[in-house]
Amino acid sequence: MGIIKRQGFYYTLISYSGVLIGTFNTLFLYIHIFTTSQIGEWNNLQDVGLIFTQLAQIGIPSIIAKYFPVFRTDDKVHKGLTAWVFIMGGISFLITTILFLLLKEPILSYYGKSPYFPKIILLVIPYSFFLLVNAFLDVLSRVIYKGILFSLMNEVVVRLGVSVALILYSLKILDFYQFLLCFIILTSFISIALAVQLWRSGEFKVQIRTDFIKNETKPLMQYGLYTLMGGATFLLVQKLDKILLTHFKGDSIQGVYSIFLYFIAVIRIPSIAFGRVSYQLVADFWENKDMNAVEDIYKKTSLVQMIVGIFLFIGLALNKDFLFLVFRKNPDFVVVFPIFYVLGLAVLVDTTTGLNTYILAVSHKFRISTGILVSSVFVCYGANQLLTPGLGAMGAALSLLITYFYYNFLNTLYLQIRFKLQPFSWAHVKVAIIGLLVFFLIDAIPVLGNHFVNLIIRSFLVVVLFGGLVLLFRVSEDIQHQARMVLSKLNSFINPSKNE
């Protein structure tokens, strides 16, 4: 857990810095500068672009993560893997672009309730290109444990750039189309930064090896296509609720739904941070058949993710009155606010189950993972078809909760049956009880007239009560260790003479 703790800390720090910037953008710029329809259209561009990119990747990021330990060589050519990655990626992007242009009209017809989408649909191509390059360069950085720069660029630099672009839009210096162009240009900055980092690292040399292309393409692509199916379906599971909500109800309600998803995404940050660091470690452990190390990571990350997830969820839920104050200019946010709780539960289910997806994906049973994902898409689609037309945003949220529960239950169950790996313990029960107790205790406190004072008091109580009880009952040794480190550093700062 040493590398995970250290890099996970940096990832989390960067991510929450990005959250602060993103929260400022959301609370004080997005919802006041853009209409909910424009927010929906911007999300349409990103969602379609992500699906385009996922298909164009043909599973190459997973191939790099799984097989880099196998092909790694001291001459940094890595038997020709790096060159192969960019050759296959270029061919795949070209084919995907042609298919996208051929399917342009059917896509537009599906987004029939998005009147502005025909004007921006071609922006999907350059946006997807940079997302694809970023995906390849990011995973190449992570396999040499230099993945922090991507998080810094994606979470902080791009969001600061978006802040500037939003202000320029509000001043009428940019129109909406030009704002989207600026967003795509900001995405390209990530590609440039990662390329420079990899070049300076000296860990990769791009050298075409025809023997590698001839002998390794088939087995690599067999794995890649399975993970492509898994990755594409996983993305659909995450995006299908918004896509179908737009299809059934239009851009405006999808824009509101997406804002709530942004706030709920805060809960997912520790999971993403641990996942980015752990994926390559799990692959290395699996290659070395070190199942004890895999189990240790599985259990510890699950518990920590649950603790942090519940802490953040109850912190957000208990401050709903402050959010109502922010959303006061748009009553749509207040009317559908109950979906916030459902979305929060969905993400908690997904993060608490830990690294089940990563573990199964790098194992020799990765085809099972793909099968579970494919079935999850049908569950998600069926639930949305049944619930969204009548219940709107609440139907989409319930569909997401049902899908996440189904998907994670099957993943966790299979790992338990096949590999005797499961993440749960009595500590998870303790965390759930502590979370419920703290929520109901603080929720019973009358709401004060001053919303800002109310925000400060409730947030402080969440930190003290939830954090205090977690430490008191020694729920997680990793949390205890981090708390001791923080207290030690505070003591050193307050009493520097004792360390002399």
* Structure confidence by residue, pLDDT tens digits, 317-357: 888 888 777 776 667 777 788 898 999 999 899 888 878 87
Confidence grade of residue 450 (pLDDT, cut at 50, 70, 90)? confident
Where is pLDDT greater, at 263 or 120? 120
**Low-confidence winner among 28-32, 218-222, 271-275, 483-487 (lowest mean pLDDT):** 271-275
What 3-state class would DSSP assign to 106?
helix
Per-residue pLDDT averaged across 363-377, rounded?
A: 81
Dig out the tokens for 26 from the structure: 């959301």
Contact 53, 347 (CB under 8 A): no
pTM of the model: 0.75
- How far does the chain reach from its first CA to its final CA, in angstroms? 31
The mean pLDDT value of the chain amounts to 84
Per-residue pLDDT averaged across 453-460, rounded?
A: 89
Per-residue pLDDT averaged across 244-270, rounded?
A: 83
Where is pLDDT greater, at 287 or 117? 117
Dig out the tokens for 146 from the structure: 């230099």
The residue type at 379 = V
b/e per residue, 439-470, with b = 16+ CB within 10 A?
A: beebeeeeeeeebeebbeebbebbeebbbebb
CA nearest to 229, candidates 410, 374, 53: 374
Confidence grade of residue 491 (pLDDT, cut at 50, 70, 90)? low
Long-range contacts of 460-469 (CB under 8 A, 24+ apart): 462/311, 462/314, 462/315, 462/318, 462/438, 465/438, 465/441, 466/310, 466/311, 466/314, 466/434, 466/435, 466/438, 467/311, 469/434, 469/437, 469/438
pLDDT score, position 126: 96
- Say whether pLDDT at 498 is over 70: no
Q: For 64-82, how does the pLDDT look when each residue is reduced to its tens digit (9 = 90+)? A: 887 877 877 777 777 778 8
Most confident segment among 249-258, 342-351, 450-459 = 342-351
b/e per residue, 117-146, with b = 16+ CB within 10 A?
A: beebbebbbebbbbbbbbbbbbbbbbbeeb
How many residues belong to the chain?
500
Confidence grade of residue 170 (pLDDT, cut at 50, 70, 90)? very high
Report how far residue 188's alpha carbon sits from residue 123's, in angstroms, rounded to the nearest whole number. Answer: 13
From its phi and psi, is residue 58 left (phi > 0), alpha (psi between -120 and 50) or beta? left
Q: For 299-317, how does the pLDDT look when each residue is reduced to its tens digit (9 = 90+)? A: 888 888 899 889 989 998 8
**Low-confidence winner among 24-33, 81-90, 172-181, 394-403 (lowest mean pLDDT):** 24-33
Q: For 272-299, how does the pLDDT look when each residue is reduced to its tens digit (9 = 90+)? A: 666 666 666 777 777 777 888 888 888 8
pLDDT score, position 110: 81
Contact 61, 135 (CB under 8 A): yes
Per-residue pLDDT averaged across 13-39, rounded?
A: 80
How many CA atoms within 13 Å lie on the side-chain side of 499? Answer: 9
pLDDT score, position 388: 93
